[in-house]
Amino acid sequence: MSTDLTWTDVSGRATLRGWTQIFIPAVPGREAPITVAECALAEDPRSILVVLDESGATNGAAIGAPVAIGFRRDDNGWSYPEIVKASAASR
């Protein structure tokens, strides 16, 4: 373990570790259903990013499918990771 930490850019490439479609209103301001995905970053698969998938691309996708993650900025200036594209395999 080291305390010598530095910022580094990552590619946004990841693999799909799991997903669920939630049919009850789980996020205020968003209508159900929504799709939530867990993505393991290519640079270090131990780093798991949980994202909303508004593209719907992961819904039905196979576990392990490649995905790409970007950021979306909301009206308050906050940035949220989201799926920008996913493999169309196993739809």
Partner 1 sequence: MRRSQSVVIAGFGASEITRRSERGITAFSLDAALAALADAKVDRSQIDGYVGAPFSTNADARHAEGGDEISLKTAANALGLKSLAYGVDLYRRYATDMVVSAAHALVAGTCRYVLGLRALYNLPGPPPAVPSAAVAYGGEQFTRPFGYMAAGARFATRARCYMERHGVTRGDLFEVVALSRRHAALNPSAVWRDRPLTREAYLEAPMIASPHSLFDCDMPVCGAAAFVMCLERDLPAGATGAHVVGWGGFATPSNVFEMSGLGRQDVVHCQLYDGFSSMVYEWLETFGFCEEGGAWKFIRDGHGDRDGRLPINTFGGSLGEGRLHGIGHLREAYLQVTGKAGERQLQRAGPALVQVGPFDDSSFVMLRPEAA
Q: Is 86 exposed, middle or buried (0-12, 13-18, 19+ CB in 10 A)?
A: buried
Task: Between 30 and 91, name the residue whose CB sits nearer to partner 1.
Answer: 30
- The answer to the question of residue 87 lying near partner 1 (CB under 8 A) is no
Q: Between residue 4 and residue 43, which ones bind partner 1 under the rule CB under 8 A? A: 17-30, 34, 36-38
β-bridge pairing 66-73 and 48-52: unpaired
Inter-CA distances, 70 with 23, 40, 47, 61, 67, Å: 25, 14, 15, 18, 10
Q: How many residues bind partner 1 (CB under 8 A)?
A: 24
Q: Does 51 bind partner 1 (CB under 8 A)?
A: yes
**Shortest Å distance, C-beta 2 to partner 1:** 21
Applying CB under 8 A, the residues found at the interface with partner 1 are: 17-30, 34, 36-38, 50-52, 62-63, 80
